[in-house]
Structure 1
């Protein structure tokens, strides 16, 4: 019986590779039988009403930052910066989706080869469609104050294409905005077309200054204001960079990033005005780092689902385990409004229902993992197999579905875990799991020393799926199985205060689904 889950029970266990492959196929088959196909069919025109990217953040793979969004031909589009050292930022990719779940990558939609004056630091694309064309505004060369006077070229350019995926080519052969005005570095632009009169505006600025300018109907030249000027400063309190404009209920919302882009204080604030020209008075910060989820969250875009009042904030952030400033990823979360139009603080949620068929936001240790039928499946491993999210929760509610698909071992949830790479219970943290032998158990692993904290009997069938929940608040830990109102186990232990969340299978094949981690 494996009810107490001792580490020693796994000693000497081995699995033939071919048998393991067959078992993995069995697990995938079981998952596929639970739900038809690896992804639900896309219902075109349906409202994707999610609380976050419920198939996991980041929602696309790779190092990206500074996203902006568009809706073209019934698809959602995201255009980000390639988050690399400046000299390697010579291209832009894009991503499209019919449902905000399944994403298609479109590489090299714009490259330095198609912009004669851009050599590096191609940043922060801003898309807009007009005149039967697709326009992409971008920063390039990271021009500094005084450099244009010395003959150095850089700033905000504009490229044009016949299709959303490009290829985009330089529209005017030079920067649209190539000098500093009102102290604003010509970077981080956003283009907004006012539905009231069709006037297009470009908002931009770095070095703690923000400007707005009019775009002419051709979208490749600047207009003038009534006083004859082309650039109007609109800098709100604490502005650093990352301009973003949208309109809701007749009000104009201006958003921007504060703090340093490599620091933990990088965040997003907003202002509201009755005019696209402001004045923009800072109201509040709405997005900031969460030490349990990610750091450096900022440079956002806003996406509204057409025909609805469903809004998302799309942004970049830095995973907790990453120290390199360029290791940024794309995420989105739901953005809600109060009755007076105020934006509520955005909560970065942690979910993964595997509806996209991907698991690139998980890091695995041992085992052979695959996603099928909206489940994360693993074949029986020679010792144990674990997969972790990059989180650091202390007080938490951790939910998932768990099934032991094959073998006599156990499977379940790991939480408040550190020392993740050590095998055979070498991690430090807690584990709650179920066994077909008829138990649910809670224990802790301390660098190879396993201690059973408590166990309870259950009526468990092999390959059946169970809802497993763990709550941990301070030293109080509870484990629930199916009945989420009545705990099967309640224990007290204060060995581990915080750490990562993951799933584990030991001496068994298993599958996991509907993962959710939240602050208790």
Structure 2
């Protein structure tokens, strides 16, 4: 996934003589350039099971084209998503279907978008061929609009056989400053790069007369991705098994789009507190800035089905020497996108309205994220709306169920009268501490819980002095969430991070 001005789209646009359309942003769009630390409205950022996201910027919109993460023979179509702000996303269903590709049957994988010659191209893999006698490989589709519909441009695969041991899957397309287009691809632990001719639908040759150049870096499995920044070419790829927790992303740097590429480091890996199987990614640059994001798929901690993958993005940072800092999966949700994707509810009636997560009057409704933090700092804005009861943060939760104490874990809350409470639940309630703070009717409070080992501290509004400090080591890790007791409430600006 790349974007203007230093990603593959802008580099293509530098080659106007090669027929690329110039990508520009309006002044208002440029002024509103996204500057986030992560998907602050919550990961996953779109609904559904998806994987292998590639992204491009067309005009003032970010586009994400993922694989549909379903059973092998159900992967017969591709959806796309677009956004002007990386917060609110519009779904564009069925931008490409196997029904529109004469040679494709299933396993429609890893779409790679790009614009050139006034048209929109979408490269894809189909049929997951296992040898050269099978029909399939990498194809190319074309459309007049970013959302399609896309139609097969050739009536046959563009790359239909194994070369240098590389399975023809997981393609990425990149256009250099001189207008030369490249296709990077490969599975089965081998990676190739080929030149694309200006028509974008046929292969060229390198100066030595070869068509397929092997560029396999150390520990390469699949998922090639190329971008350029400040004159340096970055080849990235996925390592490990896509169904396993070891799935991850590594990278190499070079002075040429064809390498040589030597592995530098791993930049994205599973976080046992947040998600597993993070990989097959892309990278986007916010136009006119040096702000970058990595967009990838990952598997929720509680999911065991290999196809249950979701789309997420986090900030990508560079060191002064151009190397990439390891990515930390952050957990935030300000509900600005109008949904509560990733939250699971247990009792109560929950909804997102006016940028807040709300629950109607409930004796013990809970909403949890699929996390498993041990030591952490957990912040959220809490507004109790009832005349009694309390609302607040649940943490280190296991065995959640419907019912006011139907879980194991802790809860810290505040009532409309300013009473602060901390307790432990295990199908019953053990109070661990109380305090009092001044409140105004209907006021919002910033609650913070820090938990390090058996030390638990609860802060309300004043983040320097805890209202409650206890030592209790009954529960050492579990999910984070929000909860009410005998009231209604709203929540906002949730943020959870490992203890420093």
TM-score normalized by structure 1? 0.90
Matched with 1:424 is 404
Matched with 2:20 is none
How many residue pairs get matched? 472
The answer to whether structure 1 residue 465 and structure 2 residue 444 are counterparts is yes
**Unaligned residue ranges in structure 1 (runs of 5+):** 1-41
Q: How far apart are the structure 2 equivalents of 1:50 and 1:224?
A: 41
Is the Cα contact below 8 Å between 1:121 and 1:141 reproduced in 2? yes
1:107-506 equivalences under 5 Å are 107-145=93-131, 148-149=132-133, 152-195=134-177, 197-381=178-362, 383-446=363-426, 448-506=427-485
Q: 1:509 aligns with which of 483, 488, 494?
A: 488
1:55-74 equivalences under 5 Å are 55-74=41-60
Matched with 1:47 is 33
Indicate the SS of the match to 2:73. helix
Q: CA deviation at 1:439?
A: 1.0
Deviations along 1:146-174, one digit per CA (max 9) or x if unpaired, are xx33xx21000000000000000000000
Indicate the SS of the match to 2:389. strand
**Unaligned residue ranges in structure 2 (runs of 5+):** 1-26
Matched with 1:6 is none
Is the Cα contact below 8 Å between 2:386 and 2:416 reproduced in 1? no
Q: How far apart are the structure 1 equivalents of 2:346 and 2:428?
A: 18
Q: CA deviation at 1:426?
A: 1.5
Is the Cα contact below 8 Å between 2:82 and 2:91 reproduced in 1? yes
Q: CA deviation at 1:407?
A: 3.2
Matched with 1:519 is 498
Q: CA deviation at 1:202?
A: 0.1
Is the Cα contact below 8 Å between 2:69 and 2:309 reproduced in 1? yes
Q: Which has the higher contact order (CA 8 A, sep 6+)?
A: 1
Q: How far apart are the structure 2 equivalents of 1:126 and 1:379?
A: 44
Deviations along 1:309-333, one digit per CA (max 9) or x if unpaired, are 0000000000001000000000000
Q: How far apart are the structure 2 equivalents of 1:423 and 1:292?
A: 25
Cα RMSD over matched residues? 1.0
After superposition, the Cα gap between the structure-2 partners of 1:104 and 1:43, relative to the gap in structure 1 and judged at 3 Å, is: farther
Matched with 2:11 is none
Deviations along 1:393-421, one digit per CA (max 9) or x if unpaired, are 00010000001112311100000000112
Deviations along 1:458-517, one digit per CA (max 9) or x if unpaired, are 112331100000000000000000001111111100000000000001110100000000
Q: How far apart are the structure 1 equivalents of 2:274 and 2:38?
A: 13
Q: CA deviation at 1:43?
A: 5.6
Q: Extract structure 1 runs of 4+ deviating beyond 4 A.
A: none
Q: How far apart are the structure 1 equivalents of 2:395 and 2:297?
A: 26
TM-score normalized by structure 2? 0.93
Is the Cα contact below 8 Å between 1:63 and 1:326 reproduced in 2? yes
Q: CA deviation at 1:438?
A: 2.8
Is the Cα contact below 8 Å between 1:404 and 1:462 reproduced in 2? no
Deviations along 1:258-281, one digit per CA (max 9) or x if unpaired, are 000000000000000000010000
Indicate the SS of the match to 1:391. coil
The answer to whether structure 1 residue 92 and structure 2 residue 78 are counterparts is yes
Q: How far apart are the structure 2 equivalents of 1:49 and 1:68?
A: 20
